[in-house]
Every structure is written in structure tokens, then in C-alpha cells.
A and B are shown apart, each in its own frame.
Chain A
Amino acid sequence: AQSVTQLDSHVSVSEGTPVLLRCNYSSSYSPSLFWYVQHPNKGLQLLLKYTSAATLVKGINGFEAEFKKSETSFHLTKPSAHMSDAAEYFCVVRPNAGKSTFGDGTTLTVKP
């Protein structure tokens, strides 16, 4: 069985400051890991994915995440937040058979 824990339900940062959204996972097998973003009243959009290649993964809009097997973590970071980054973010683990497990989400607020 697999599970995903997003350690913060809400994160608030000021525009121009770094963003850190934390995700821990558990999985019986080497998983694929994803981060999705959901803007209000919109569907989910893929930010980045890890699929057993490079452990530091770069995504769209300046986001990146580092896969740390020893810590079972896949934290999402961005050096400088923009107002348009305000959204809900989901960490997803997908070990096999297409059955993804979603975290409960982290709401990112960006203050001017």
C-alpha cells in the first residue's frame, strides 16, 4: 500500500520569497512521484514528475522538487514566489497499475 502526506495544509509566503511545500510518501515499490497545481475552479495541471531518473526534477513556472529516498520525501520548491503561484498543490505517488494516491493538498497563499 502507498500513502502520501503533505505536511502543511496551508502555506503563506510573501511575493519574491522562497516557497517550500513538503511531501512525504510511503510505497512498497519504487514509485513515480508527481506534483500537480490546481487554480481555483480549474482542473489539475502537472508541475513536474519523478520517474527514477535524476533526483532533482525541474518543472514548469520555476518549480523544482528533489526526490530523497532515504527521507521518503519529495518536497516542492521555488526560489521566488509570484502572485500567480497562489493555488492548491497536490503531491501524488503512483507505484503501479495506474492507481495514484493523492495527498490532501497544500493551499499556497502569496502576499503582496
Chain B
Amino acid sequence: NAGVTQTPKFRVLKTGQSMTLLCAQDMNHEYMYWYRQDPGMGLRLIHYSVGEGTTAKGEVPDGYNVSRLKKQNFLLGLESAAPSQTSVYFCASSYDAMNTEAFFGQGTRLTVV
């Protein structure tokens, strides 16, 4: 079982460059999430989606955009990368909003120089 797969696993960007992180899940989950993890700060929600074609802002959405054109994919875009976006990014998915666990990808380590 693949579960949640993130692409790429590592990336180095120059300031001002753009990139897209891809998250794919094969569990038919409605809900998908993008988090960033910084030392000592736990995980913070960037954007999330409650179903195909929907997106919503999380706790730290500035500088990021997302799209959910297909149920199984959730894309996170950085239009103009900044050093402050250096972080580890995690995608997750869940079946519903409340009771079921979220399944996490392995993470993408992004460095912006």
C-alpha cells in the first residue's frame, strides 16, 4: 500500500524561484492537508482541502497556493520562494474531519538559499 506519497523528497531553491510539491494518496480520502514543520514549533497547517475542487487556508497560508483538481492529488505551490520557507513539508490525508486518523507522507525537505 502506497498510502500518501510526496514528491520530491528534497529540493534546494534559489530565492525567487517557484516550485510545486505534489501529494498523492490512494486511500480515497476526502480531506487532504499541507503542513510545515520547523524546529520547536510542531506542525503548522498551511492549507487544506475537504474534497475535490475545494481548498481553504490554514494557520500559515501566506506565500503558498494549493490546488485539488483530482481527489487523489493535492498540490502545494510556492510562486516566489523565500528563505523563510525553508522547512520540512508534510502532506496528510484523512477519511473524515473528526474521528479518523490522518495519514502522513514522508516529508519534503526544502531549502531556499
Contacts and interface: CB of A to CB of B under 8 A. Distances in A.
Interface stretch (A41-49, A65-73, A77-85): A41-49
Contacts, number: 59
Contacts of A41: 107
B64 to A, nearest CB: 16
A96 interface: yes
Given A90-B43, A99-B58, A43 B31 contact: no
A100 interface: yes
Contacts of A51: 98-99
B106 A43 contact: yes
Contacts of B2: none
Contact of B42 (A34, A42, A94, A102): A102
A25 B89 CA distance: 24
Given A32-B99, A104-B42, A44 B90 contact: yes
B32 to A, nearest CB: 9
Interface in B9-42: 31, 33, 35, 40-42
Interface residues of B, number: 27
Q: How large is the interface on A (under 10, 10 to 19, 20 to 34, 35 or more residues)?
A: 20 to 34
Given A90-B42, A98-B33, A100-B33, 5 more contacts: A43-B104, A97-B50, A98-B96, A102-B35, A102-B43
22 contacts: A36-B104, A41-B107, A43-B4, A43-B106, A44-B43, A45-B104, A46-B102, A46-B103, A90-B43, A97-B50, A97-B97, A98-B33, A98-B48, A98-B94, A98-B96, A99-B48, A99-B58, A100-B33, A102-B44, A104-B40, A104-B41, A105-B42
Interface of B: 4, 31, 33, 35, 40-45, 48, 50, 58, 90, 92, 94, 96-99, 101-107
